[in-house]
Structure 1
Amino acid sequence: MSIIRDIQQTFRRLPGVELRSTWRSQQAYKCHSHPQLSIGAILDGQTRCVCHQQEYLLQTGDLMVIPASTPHSCNPLAGQPRSYHMLYLAQEVRPQPALQVIRNPQLFHQYQHIVALIERGETRDLSSAIHCLLNALPASGNPPSALRPLSQQLQAALTDNLQSPPTLDALAYGFSLRKETLIRTFKQDTGLTPGSFLNIARVEFAKSRLRAGEALADVSYQSGFADQSHFHRTFVNYTAATPRQYARSISDNK
């Protein structure tokens, strides 16, 4: 297993888009989601992606489209490193592309062109290149289902105060439900347990503060982690990168 701090990875951010590039990594992720539409490209090796209880084996030259807020995991085959890019598109994308694996050399080339523009910091042609790629992707025939009010209220309660969110026991009491019913309903709606959802929300908030240049210790506290060790461990589990790797790489390309 490669040591996470020794893995070569970069994070670059331009208006509306973030690019992650990771090389020769065996690091796995926990099931997670992103608030943005994400599109991955396998540059070398193989990756096993699990989404909606379906498994996809991705190979060199494949693209994987993951709609916003869709729980998934994309992990290496045992003992085999892989290299990949991930594009996170922050702008509102309508209609939302469908979850799909794409094996199309022309679209892979278009994706690599977008990567090259980001790496060179060229913003002039970036928006049109992204728009061209998105237009080539089939749109989802089914709009995402709205969460039930219970799950919406639970999300709001968990994210209202990341430093001191209510316990599940307290929430279950407030909703007059058994804790098990609360967890089951939330997972049916979101694909995540409340604990995983809270961890992901904390990690996403931490990333936003790291992008703003704040110190790791301050970000750890603001995000609601018990200590820096807890922050580091959770960040690695859900991003396959350390907070320091992310902070340093983002600050290097501002």
Structure 2
Amino acid sequence: MSGDWSRYWCSPRPGLEAMHAHFERHTYHRHSHETYSFGITDDGRQAFTCRGAGHTSTAGMVLAFNPDDPHDGRAADELGFTYRIVHIGPELVSGALAGFAGRAAGLPLFAEPVVHDPVLAGGLGRLHAALLGGAPALVADELLDAVIPDLVRRAALSGPAARGPRFRAGSRGAADVAGQVAELLEDDYRTDHTADSLAAVSGSSRFTVYRAFRAAYGMAPSDYQRQVRLRVARGLLSRGTPIADAAAETGFADQSHLNRWFVRWYGITPGVYRRAAR
């Protein structure tokens, strides 16, 4: 029997969420977050792919994902892994860095998804404990404002992060094709598009669309559309929308269909997220 468990927490203000979990059998589907996501592996070994390479995080290591940074995740062995993760919106990162001397303008970019730094792990652990432990808001804010500059100073590149396509899209034309398809999937996310309809909107072949999109966004167009649907569903759930209604409004076949993909993406059920957000 699986020993999987998870706890999820959402701040009353947007852009700050946290989870503590242990997974033995759960496997994350390839996905990304709109936030920066910083994790700490407490125990065990977590394996994942990110930015075209495989990685393993063990006890004490820090995970650092940029916004829209596709990755997956799973236990590296049958013993599973326990980890903590804090999701921090770009606007909170920008606010904490306001007036921070000696860094380039714009949002930071973390080049390595796994960082071995006990100081950063300690700071993130204290922030995570405060968030899930119900610490006073001022205490949590002070820890957040201390952790973010530390993360940037010790682990980020000097240049700003770029939003949108983050991968090698080849030619400028290929990047344009991927961007046109992404715009369609974001604007018309409820429609069950076909490979031919994506090719038509971009004026390219089906093969060109698929190759350009994977290169630019790190996932297939079908996964990108599903992710858009899930993000919209999260917003609806956070406002108290019933799960069945959120499923219908975002193009899922039914509540169980939304539930299945929500778990594969986020490691928790829509019900758990809705209660945490409310």
TM-score (norm: length of structure 1): 0.88
Answer yes or no: is the 8 Å Cα contact 1:117–1:123 preserved in 2: no
Question: Deviation digits for residues 105-128 of structure 1, max 9, x if unmatched?
Answer: 222221122112212152213333
The verdict on how the C-alpha distance between 1:146 and 1:71 changes in structure 2, with shifts beyond 3 A counting, is closer
> Quick one: distance in 1 between partners of 2:90 and 2:162?
17
Per-residue deviation, 1:250:
3.1
Which residue type is aligned with residue 54 of structure 2?
A: E
The verdict on how the C-alpha distance between 1:24 and 1:226 changes in structure 2, with shifts beyond 3 A counting, is closer
Match of 2:122 among 81, 106, 109: 109
Question: Deviation digits for residues 68-124 of structure 1, max 9, x if unmatched?
Answer: 111111211232221111111113334324133222222222112211221215221
Name the residue aligned to 1:139: 156
> Quick one: distance in 2 between partners of 1:73 and 1:24?
13
Higher relative contact order (CA 8 A, sep 6+): 1
Secondary structure in 2 aligned to 1:124? helix
**Aligned length, in residue pairs:** 249
Instruction: Summarize the alignment of residues 181-200 of structure 1 with structure 2, pairs less than 5 Å apart.
Output: 181-200=208-227
Name the residue aligned to 1:12: 10
- Gaps of at least 5 residues in structure 1 are none
> Quick one: distance in 2 between partners of 1:158 and 1:126?
37
Cα RMSD after superposing both structures? 2.2
Deviates more, 1:59-68 or 1:87-96: 87-96
| Identical-pair percentage | 23
Secondary structure in 2 aligned to 1:45? strand
Instruction: Summarize the alignment of residues 146-165 of structure 1 with structure 2, pairs less than 5 Å apart.
Output: 147=165, 148-164=175-191
> Quick one: distance in 1 between partners of 2:268 and 2:255?
15
Per-residue deviation, 1:133:
1.8
Answer yes or no: is the 8 Å Cα contact 1:14–1:118 preserved in 2: no
Match of 1:99 among 75, 88, 111: 111
Instruction: Summarize the alignment of residues 211-226 of structure 1 with structure 2, pairs less than 5 Å apart.
Output: 211-226=238-253
Per-residue deviation, 1:215:
0.4
Answer yes or no: is the 8 Å Cα contact 1:97–1:134 preserved in 2: no
